[in-house]
Amino acid sequence: MSETRRRAAELAAQHVSDGRPTGWFEPLYAAASGDAGKVPWADLAPNPGLLVWARRAGTTAYHGKRALVVGCGLGDDAEEVAGWGARVLAFDISPTAIAWARLRFPESRVSYEVGDLFSPPGSWARAFDFVFEAYTLQSLPRSVRPPAFDNLAGFVAPGGTLLVIARARDEREQVEGPPWPLAASELERFETSGLEAVRFEDYVDEEVPPQRRFRVQYERPRSGAS
């Protein structure tokens, strides 16, 4: 394990044990002092899984539509979605991450905001035609995830899309995080929250070392949405 990942794991363990499972993100970004190499997930490029999905699915349907990028970090995924012509709101719980993203993209059309997935504004309910979540759920211990699933589903407008990318594990596989990979059964909560699974992919990426991931596209029905 690299020193960067070891430090992240220590911060996560400390805050989880203190009952603050999202409290470790801000000190991690703050301690990085502008060095993206000290943020384990900061690749300074859009998520490869998002790019593959966009090439295959096409993005013209989102031109001019509202999009939400969850746990946006330093902003690369948000800028990618904005490049489709979408009107993007991107949020992160870390004020330092948001300030950093704004600094990196001073001419951006993205609205970068500090926000908490566990306590989102009511105005975000069913307000977005495209919602992207990558690696946020896996950064949370399984015990605290249910409200995060529900809130994510709640952001999706009728006819809208939720795209989720996460590390994957077998149902009985025990893991020590962070990250805490997801089991397929956990993702079923999106469907009980009113979304329909359109495509479920279980694949191995091209990282070194390779990582098993889920990439799942959900939609909220246009009519009769629950």
The domains of the chain, with CATH numbers, are 43-219 (3.40.50.150)
How would residue 149 be classed by pLDDT, with cut points 50, 70 and 90?
Answer: very high
Question: pTM to 2 decimals?
Answer: 0.94
Q: Closest Cα to residue 42, out of 61, 20, 62, 25? A: 25
Q: What is the DSSP annotation of 195-215?
A: -EEEEEEEEE-SSSS--EEEE
Mean pLDDT of 76-96: 98
What confidence score (pLDDT) does residue 226 get?
45
What confidence score (pLDDT) does residue 12 get?
84
Mean pLDDT of 14-26: 88
How would residue 9 be classed by pLDDT, with cut points 50, 70 and 90?
Answer: confident
The answer to whether 196 touches 224, Cβ cutoff 8 Å, is no
How many whole angstroms separate alpha carbon 12 and alpha carbon 7? 9
What's the chain's average pLDDT?
94
Q: At what angle do helices 3-17 and 25-32 cross, to 10 degrees?
A: 150
Mean pLDDT of 74-92: 98
Residue partners of 63: CB distance under 8 A and separation at least 6: 84, 85, 86
What confidence score (pLDDT) does residue 1 get?
59
What confidence score (pLDDT) does residue 3 get?
82
What confidence score (pLDDT) does residue 165 get?
98
What confidence score (pLDDT) does residue 204 get?
96
What confidence score (pLDDT) does residue 152 get?
98
Q: Closest Cα to residue 131, out of 50, 207, 204? A: 50
How would residue 29 be classed by pLDDT, with cut points 50, 70 and 90?
Answer: very high
Give the tens place of pLDDT for each residue, 30-77. 999 999 999 999 999 999 999 999 999 999 999 999 999 999 999 999
How would residue 225 be classed by pLDDT, with cut points 50, 70 and 90?
Answer: very low
